[in-house]
């Protein structure tokens, strides 16, 4: 048996917009994306929303529900009070294209900057061997669906457009950690890259990214903090420092 719910949805584009009120039918078992689709079908045929799988796996339907970054397709209507007004807005950290759809190309630019996995040149595909413990460690990071909710919530860029050139964001600090921890990655400059080009020092471990991750990846504890420790080891360990000096001098 359906009931009516009160929704406020942000409508507009890059030039501006505002919240619009809708009363819409809700049925047992529905998620917020169902309600957005019903709005499109009955009252707002031109409402823009991005989605693909409706199963929490494509990472397309990211938005903010009552101010919290969430996947529209994984947010059950049953978690809200029946009398509550539910506000749906686009992700705040990225430019709006229209309504609930944002331009997330910032993330693709950051992804492209990361040097690719580099196995030792004398090892052919098929000869790769890894310990199970190393497989399991990177497996957690590989669960990422690239919804960019963590990027959206991170205060370093959320209200600070000026930080974007210097900061890669939690999703790509995970990638940095995954590659640095990979036993078959032969690059030796991952830590310098995280410090110099990904701005890992700007993260102050608030853990907001971990709280919104729909894949429950322990972004801060398992990726960013270990990566920060590795960066510090590399940069400030006196033995490493001395080694770098000698090595550089020999090369010079």
Positions touching ligand FES (CB under 6 A) are 51-54, 56-61, 71, 73
Per CB under 6 A, the list member of 14, 135, 186, 205 interacting with ligand SF4 is: 205
User: Which one, 71 or 150, has the nearer CB to ligand FES?
Assistant: 71
Burial profile 64-74: b = 16 or more Cβ within 10 angstroms, e = fewer: bbeeebbbbbb
Supply the minimum distance, in Å, between the C-beta of residue 191 and ligand FES: 33
* Whether 40 contacts 98, CB under 8 Å: no
User: Which one, 39 or 153, has the nearer CB to ligand SF4?
Assistant: 153
Per CB under 6 A, the list member of 25, 30, 140, 146 interacting with ligand SF4 is: 146
The one-character DSSP state at 76 is B
- The interface partner of residue 207, options being ligand SF4, ligand FES, none and the CB cut-off 5 to 8 Å by kind, is ligand SF4
- The interface partner of residue 209, options being ligand SF4, ligand FES, none and the CB cut-off 5 to 8 Å by kind, is ligand SF4
* Whether 63 contacts 70, CB under 8 Å: yes
- The interface partner of residue 157, options being ligand SF4, ligand FES, none and the CB cut-off 5 to 8 Å by kind, is none
**DSSP per position, 10-59:** EEEETTEEEEEEEEEEE-TT-BHHHHHHHHHHHT-TT-----S-SSS-S-
Per CB under 6 A, the list member of 26, 89, 170, 234 interacting with ligand SF4 is: 170
Supply the minimum distance, in Å, between the C-beta of residue 208 and ligand SF4: 4
Supply the minimum distance, in Å, between the C-beta of residue 105 and ligand SF4: 15
Per CB under 6 A, the list member of 73, 88, 217, 227 interacting with ligand SF4 is: 217
Q: Where are the beta strands (DSSP E) in 120-191?
A: none
Asked if 33 is part of the footprint of ligand SF4 (rule: CB under 6 A), the reply reads no
Phi, psi of 249 (to 5 degrees): -65, -40
Supply the minimum distance, in Å, between the C-beta of residue 54 and ligand FES: 5
Segment holding 9, helix H or strand E: strand 3-13
* Chain centroid to CA 238: 35
* Whether 178 contacts 229, CB under 8 Å: no
Per CB under 6 A, the list member of 154, 177, 179, 194 interacting with ligand SF4 is: 154
């Amino acid at each position: 048996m359906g009931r009516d719910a009160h929704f406020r949805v942000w409508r507009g584009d890059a030039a501006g917009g505002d919240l619009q009120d809708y009363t819409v039918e809700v049925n047992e078992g529905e998620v917020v994306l169902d309600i957005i689709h019903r709005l499109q079908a009955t009252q707002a045929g031109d409402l823009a929303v991005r989605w693909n799988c409706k199963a929490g796996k494509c990472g397309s339907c990211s938005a903010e529900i009552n101010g919290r970054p969430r996947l529209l397709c994984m947010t059950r209507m049953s978690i809200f009070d029946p009398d509550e007004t539910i506000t749906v807005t686009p992700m705040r950290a990225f430019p709006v294209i229209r309504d609930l759809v944002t331009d997330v190309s910032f993330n693709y630019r950051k992804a492209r900057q990361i040097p690719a996995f580099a196995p030792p040149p004398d090892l052919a595909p098929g000869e790769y061997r890894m310990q199970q413990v190393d497989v399991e460690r990177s497996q957690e990071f590989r669960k990422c669906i690239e919804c960019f909710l963590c990027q959206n919530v991170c205060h370093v860029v959320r209200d600070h457009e000026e930080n974007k050139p210097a900061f890669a964001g939690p999703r790509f600090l995970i990638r940095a950690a995954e590659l640095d921890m990979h036993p078959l990655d032969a690059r030796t400059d991952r830590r310098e890259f995280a410090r110099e080009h990904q701005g890992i020092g700007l993260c102050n471990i608030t853990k907001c990214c971990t709280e919104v991750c729909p894949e429950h990846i322990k972004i801060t504890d398992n990726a960013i903090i270990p990566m920060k420790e590795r960066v510090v080891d590399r940069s400030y360990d006196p033995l490493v420092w001395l080694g770098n000096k000698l090595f550089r001098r020999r090369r010079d």
